[in-house]
């Protein structure tokens, strides 16, 4: 490639207490909605043994990366070999108290406080899913970096009768 600088994906870590539902939902949603621009991770202060079944139920239809979802400790993201995060998003009061100096670099902190319906009541995971979906969409709109201006893609002005011919012609 000549003259084209590719920008790396921005890394986002979602934190909550147990990394079993809220942060898992946020990780999966960001990965699914804009995995082209963001690498999504999640972790907890006191990670659960497994992902909450209701969270997996919300994600089961149409999500391609469910096998990547598992509770992890936030300390995995503070070790010397951990990737540098661009953003850390906290989803509860406990995770908001984490000392941001523990992370490499200087990630931007976002604090997402969900309405009480997302915590502990019947239907809480479903309510949390919709709240987090809205937050993730807003996050993408606010934080996604534009593609480098030197990247010029050819404009397609008309429909090619055979897409393979179009691709093979080098246009």
- Is the predicted pLDDT of residue 108 greater than 70, yes or no? yes
Give the pLDDT score at 162. 47
- Report which DSSP code applies to 114: P
Structure-token match 């090619």, residue found: 160
Rounded distance between C-alpha atoms, residue 171 and residue 154, angstroms: 7
Please report, for residues 58, 60, 62, 79, 164, the alpha-carbon distance to residue 68 in angstroms, rounded to integers and kept in the order given: 15, 13, 14, 20, 33
Please give the share of the chain, as a percent, with pLDDT higher than 70. Answer: 76
Beta-sheet strands, E only, within 2-125: 10-16, 38-44, 87-90, 108-111
- If you average pLDDT over every residue of the chain, what do you get? 83
Give the pLDDT score at 157. 55
Tokens representing 70 are: 């598992």
Give the pLDDT score at 48. 96
Rounded distance between C-alpha atoms, residue 31 and residue 135, angstroms: 14
- Among the listed residues 109, 136, 72, the one whose alpha carbon sits nearest the alpha carbon of residue 128: 136
- Is the predicted pLDDT of residue 138 greater than 90, yes or no? yes
CB 127 within 8 A of CB 115: yes
Rounded distance between C-alpha atoms, residue 33 and residue 24, angstroms: 14
Give the pLDDT score at 1. 44
Let me know how long the chain is: 171
Give the pLDDT score at 25. 95
Q: In terms of pLDDT, which residue wins out, 126 or 168?
A: 126
Beta-sheet strands, E only, within 68-138: 87-90, 108-111
**pLDDT per residue over 66-93, tens digit each?**
888 999 999 999 998 999 999 999 999 9
What is the set of domains in the chain, with CATH numbers? 10-168 (3.40.50.2300)
**pLDDT per residue over 47-61, tens digit each?**
999 999 899 988 887
Q: What is the mean pLDDT of residues 100-106?
A: 92
Please give the share of the chain, as a percent, with pLDDT higher than 90. Answer: 58
């Amino acid at each position: 490639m000549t003259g084209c600088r590719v920008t790396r994906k921005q890394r986002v870590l979602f934190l909550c207490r147990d990394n079993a539902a809220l942060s898992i939902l946020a990780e999966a949603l960001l990965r699914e909605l804009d995995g082209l621009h963001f690498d999504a991770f999640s972790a907890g202060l006191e990670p659960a043994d497994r992902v909450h079944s209701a969270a997996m139920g919300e994600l089961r239809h149409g999500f391609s990366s469910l096998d990547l979802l598992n509770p992890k400790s936030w300390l995995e993201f503070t070790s010397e070999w951990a990737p540098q995060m661009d953003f850390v998003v906290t989803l509860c009061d406990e995770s908001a108290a984490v000392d941001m100096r523990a992370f490499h670099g200087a990630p931007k902190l976002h604090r997402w406080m969900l309405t009480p319906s997302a915590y502990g009541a019947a239907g809480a995971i479903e309510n949390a899913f919709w709240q987090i979906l809205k937050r993730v969409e807003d996050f993408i709109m606010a934080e996604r970096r534009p593609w480098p201006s030197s990247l010029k893609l050819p404009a397609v002005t008309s429909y090619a009768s055979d897409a393979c011919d179009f691709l093979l012609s080098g246009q």
